[in-house]
Structure 1
Amino acid sequence: MNLVAGLLCLLACLTVVTCDRVYVHPFNLFSFNQSDCDKLEKLVQEGKTIVPVSIESQTTPEYEGDVNDKNELEAPSLNTWGKEERGYLSGLVYVPGMRFYNVLQKARTGQNVLLSPSSLYSSLVSFYLGASNQTALDLQGLLGFVPPSGNPDCTSTAVGSNFLSSLRTIERLVKSGDEELLFSKTLSLFSAPGIPLSQLFIEHLLPSADAFYARAVDLTNPGEAAKQINAFVETKSEGQSKCLLADIDPSSELLFAVDVRLAVNVKQAFPLKEPQEFWVDSNTKVLVPMLSVTGTLKYKTDASGTFSLVEVPISKTALLVLLQPINGSDLEHVESELMSQSSAWLQRLSPRDIKLTLPALTLEDSSDLQQLLADMELPTLLGKGADFSKISNASLTVGKVINKAFFKLASDGTDQAEDPAAQKEDGAYLDVTLNKPFLFAVFEKQSRVMLFLGRVVNPLHED
């Protein structure tokens, strides 16, 4: 496994360097010193643990804390980050994000796909925080960074917490950006009854989401456990999140679930009065509700003329980038080109006067990180035998690691008496219409970290 981790690390780092021209590791993303290690080592040795309360408990346990209070302590800011640091983190998130997307794209041919690269990366970092020995090194390889030399046990905790904090800062920037954009993230742990979880691990995870839950469930009865977990999540989300789990491995002792949601009401967008044609394939069309956005937007076609990109600001802190094949190229060919080109999404776009027509969207998708890793021929990375002694002093078998994503794109509801494009002469606007399968991504504006990535084959299908 040492060789596998080393190759993964080398591949990821080379890809980041090649694609994003980041030649210097921004070490203050990992900054820690011996005194930090000594403090962490002392906390680890103290071994304080928490035994989660039953999922049936009606009271909020103290260890779940008030996440909102923690998130409001200070305004999120990336002012201390340089260009190298921002490019470095965005590249690290992009590489495994595209690898996970590639797995889902192949498994779901002809279907919509939605995932959150930042959320998946954050999940891996969370397990890196709780990992020791070879498991920590293997996760470090997949995460794609090579931290400074030092105490490896300290490294996973110190570096992991810094990366988790950096990703959360980016998410909070999006969350605080605009009232037309609603962003939320929920993190849940479900453990077998009586399993002690590290208090230090819980404290690191607590501020990484808008809501955090850690509850005990009898996982030996998979059907009943799934019902309890689904009911719990639906209640806590006030009906927004349903059917988190379909099945559970009865040998599991810990389940991990992240639910990230983004709803956008696009400013200066108006719904077209009549549904418009959308070609699912060359022989099949459906009528779908469409939105129109007219104004100065950033645009480009790639050098080979196979796809075009339109960048739409959806808040003060977030960008929506829409990619569609052109000149007869197909989406599968474009997807393969993007695997190694994080720069393709956001570089060399130029302002153009554009009339953009695109479907209104409501997409929801769920993936199991365990299954994604298995499809990438890394089934043991979080599986049986993995060392998560920083999560629990009991030997843990990690079950499903669910990452659920929800994305909605709609008009802001502003009444438009007239199409703004009609006020200019014909040809003054470049007409861009997304009426066949396309890709989209949502980025945080400053860091360029990819928050969502989706493929739309049929806008009428929500998953």
Structure 2
Amino acid sequence: MLNPLGTETPWRQFSSMNLVTHLLCLVACLTLVTCDRVYVHPFTLYSFNETDCDKLEKLVQEGKTIVPVSIESQTTPEYEGDVDDKNKLEAPSLNTWGKEERGYLSGLVYVVGMRLYSALQKAHRDQNVLLSPTSLYSSLVSFYLGASNQTALDLQGLLGFVPPSGNLDCTSTAVGKNFLSSLRMVERLVKSGDEELLFSKTLSLFSAPGIPLFQLFLEHLLPSADAFYARAVDFTNPGEAAKQINAFVEAKSEGQSKLVLADIDPASELLLVADVCLAVNVKQAFPLKEPQEFWVDSSTKVLVPMLSLTGTFKYKTDASGTFSVVEVPISKTALLVLLQPINGSDLEHVEAELTWQSSAWLQWLSPREIKLTLPALTLEGISDLQELLADMELPGLLGKGADFSRISNTSITVGKVINKAFFKLASDGTDQPADPAAQKEDGVYLDVTLNKPFLFALFEKQSRAMLFLGRVVNPLHED
């Protein structure tokens, strides 16, 4: 495992005595990178007091549990809530957040997202990659809400929290709930944009038949998505369980989302599926009449549909001249940032440079008049958080033996934690306008063409939290 300074630090070396010290170093590193070098303690931003802990402890002691209905049930259980009621909530706003709060949250999401991306990228070399850092981080926070004792401490280490003195279980519940709420606010901000951008998130929790789940845990997860489901599945027949879950996810998305879940450990007692979709029709982007060349590698090219945008966008090249960055507002609430190697540099080298540099995406950009040409995109990525953690040498974090006594009053084994991401970028269908670049003198517009493998990220505009991160090796392949 890489620590914030980039050196090898096996997870096993973390003892209970020195864990807090390492965590302090991690948070200090994060805040140096993401908060304009102002140290901000997370618990001053997401605070709670002794009364809050007392209230939470009382709810936990009451220990109300719910046994989820079968996945085959045709009725909607009361504990899944009313999606329509949730969508009637007041418009989201970050007006109460200061710059430090936004920087802290987006910094934590970025660092964890890049670590998970690195693990996924290594497992899928020379392929397209897509993930949602906010969704993955939200999934980890969800399990943090259900964790106790050493498991809660271990999850704090990955998430970047520093535990204060006091009741650890109160910390995991109070802080986890606040972070989950903040992440959901960011997602709702994206949804509140113009009609050209469509965003949705579905969360499905599957448990073994007869397993009681704490009502408090389900209530924490309920508002964290547009739709939340908790159903019982017989994992002892893995093939049939996979078919049932695939069919359930597809049916609840009205056929828009297909989950290809092949194998399930029959010893599993809990499985989570988070499904995030974003599709945007970019205003003032028009499709080129003919497919254009895209070089998959130095000897292989394909013809792909391309979009063209002309306007004033933020732009930079890095100090070493290895990559360029273009920032394009694609809606009132979202920024698309495109990063491509230049001057003979390759994508793998650029990816290695980006691991701990959040500033590479959004800082030190300057307005330029640009003619931008890029592929129309339809990408889908499915990742198992358990596999990614194993690749990061953290196989026990959510594995067998982990303490999730705040999810259920029986010992449970967490199986797959699936995060599915879908991203589509297209034109808004407007007719092709006269080329404004042709009406100006040569050299006024900087011509930027993405015709070889590149990276992209989509950020929520106010918080600058990274919602999607992807690598495009071949635009014709959806995954």
TM-score range, shorter chain: over 0.9
What residue in structure 1 maps to residue 122 of structure 2?
A: 106
CA distance in 1, matches of 2:20, 2:137: 19
Residues 1:332 and 2:348 are matched in the alignment: yes
Moved more, 24-33 or 357-366: 24-33
What residue in structure 1 maps to residue 64 of structure 2?
A: 48
Query: Any conservation in 2 of the 1:297–1:354 contact (CA below 8 Å)?
Result: yes
What residue in structure 2 maps to residue 66 of structure 1?
A: 82
Residues 1:367 and 2:383 are matched in the alignment: yes
The Cα of 1:385 is off from its aligned counterpart by 0.4
The Cα of 1:96 is off from its aligned counterpart by 1.1
Query: Any conservation in 2 of the 1:355–1:421 contact (CA below 8 Å)?
Result: yes
After TM superposition, list the pairs within 5 Å mapping 1:74-113 onto structure 2.
Answer: 74-113=90-129
Determine which of 390, 394, 398 is the counterpart of 2:410: 394
CA distance in 2, matches of 1:313, 1:292: 14
| Residues 8 and 398 of structure 1, relative CA distance in 2, 3 Å threshold | farther
Q: Which runs of 4+ in 1 moved over 6 A?
A: none
- Using the aligned pairs only, state the percent identity: 85
Query: Any conservation in 1 of the 2:42–2:161 contact (CA below 8 Å)?
Result: no
CA distance in 2, matches of 1:421, 1:77: 38
| Residues 347 and 456 of structure 1, relative CA distance in 2, 3 Å threshold | same
Query: Any conservation in 1 of the 2:380–2:478 contact (CA below 8 Å)?
Result: yes
Residues 1:195 and 2:207 are matched in the alignment: no
Unaligned runs of 5+ in 1: none
CA distance in 1, matches of 2:344, 2:421: 31
Moved more, 418-427 or 32-41: 418-427
What residue in structure 2 maps to residue 220 of structure 1?
A: 236
The Cα of 1:434 is off from its aligned counterpart by 0.1
What residue in structure 2 maps to residue 23 of structure 1?
A: 39
TM-score, with length taken from structure 2: 0.95
CA distance in 2, matches of 1:161, 1:8: 24
After TM superposition, list the pairs within 5 Å mapping 1:212-361 onto structure 2.
Answer: 212-361=228-377
CA distance in 2, matches of 1:370, 1:6: 24
Query: Any conservation in 2 of the 1:368–1:402 contact (CA below 8 Å)?
Result: yes
Residues 1:461 and 2:477 are matched in the alignment: yes
The Cα of 1:67 is off from its aligned counterpart by 2.8
Determine which of 429, 433, 437 is the counterpart of 1:421: 437
Query: Any conservation in 1 of the 2:24–2:162 contact (CA below 8 Å)?
Result: no
Amino acid at match of 1:219: F
Is the partner of 1:286 in helix, strand or coil? strand
What residue in structure 1 maps to residue 187 of structure 2?
A: 171
1:393-430 deviation line (CA, Å, top 9, x unaligned): 01000000000100000001111242232222222100
Amino acid at match of 2:72: E
CA distance in 2, matches of 1:404, 1:167: 17
The Cα of 1:298 is off from its aligned counterpart by 0.5
1:94-121 deviation line (CA, Å, top 9, x unaligned): 1111011111111111000000111110
The Cα of 1:219 is off from its aligned counterpart by 0.6
1:236-291 deviation line (CA, Å, top 9, x unaligned): 00111113411100000000110001101111000000000000000000000000
Amino acid at match of 1:345: W
Is the partner of 2:15 in helix, strand or coil? helix
The Cα of 1:9 is off from its aligned counterpart by 2.6
Moved more, 428-437 or 139-148: 139-148
| Residues 6 and 313 of structure 1, relative CA distance in 2, 3 Å threshold | same
What residue in structure 1 maps to residue 5 of structure 2?
A: none
CA distance in 2, matches of 1:444, 1:149: 33
The Cα of 1:446 is off from its aligned counterpart by 1.0
CA distance in 2, matches of 1:147, 1:75: 32
Moved more, 70-79 or 265-274: 70-79
What residue in structure 1 maps to residue 6 of structure 2?
A: none
1:44-97 deviation line (CA, Å, top 9, x unaligned): 000001110000000111100113312422210111111111111111011111
Amino acid at match of 1:351: P
Unaligned runs of 5+ in 2: 1-11
Amino acid at match of 1:231: A
CA distance in 1, matches of 2:175, 2:441: 56
Residues 1:3 and 2:15 are matched in the alignment: yes
Moved more, 265-274 or 236-245: 236-245
Query: Any conservation in 2 of the 1:113–1:455 contact (CA below 8 Å)?
Result: yes
CA distance in 2, matches of 1:302, 1:43: 52
CA distance in 1, matches of 2:29, 2:78: 43
Query: Any conservation in 2 of the 1:16–1:22 contact (CA below 8 Å)?
Result: no
CA distance in 2, matches of 1:6, 1:337: 28
| Residues 328 and 236 of structure 1, relative CA distance in 2, 3 Å threshold | same
The Cα of 1:26 is off from its aligned counterpart by 4.6
Query: Any conservation in 2 of the 1:67–1:209 contact (CA below 8 Å)?
Result: no
What residue in structure 2 maps to residue 144 of structure 1?
A: 160
CA distance in 2, matches of 1:286, 1:310: 23
Query: Any conservation in 1 of the 2:28–2:39 contact (CA below 8 Å)?
Result: no
Query: Any conservation in 2 of the 1:261–1:407 contact (CA below 8 Å)?
Result: yes
RMSD: 1.3
CA distance in 2, matches of 1:400, 1:32: 32
| Residues 260 and 7 of structure 1, relative CA distance in 2, 3 Å threshold | farther
Determine which of 179, 182, 186 is the counterpart of 2:198: 182
1:12-39 deviation line (CA, Å, top 9, x unaligned): 3243123122412253432111111001
Amino acid at match of 2:60: V
What residue in structure 2 maps to residue 12 of structure 1?
A: 26
CA distance in 1, matches of 2:426, 2:123: 28
The Cα of 1:181 is off from its aligned counterpart by 0.5
CA distance in 2, matches of 1:434, 1:368: 30
What residue in structure 2 maps to residue 434 of structure 1?
A: 450
The Cα of 1:7 is off from its aligned counterpart by 7.0
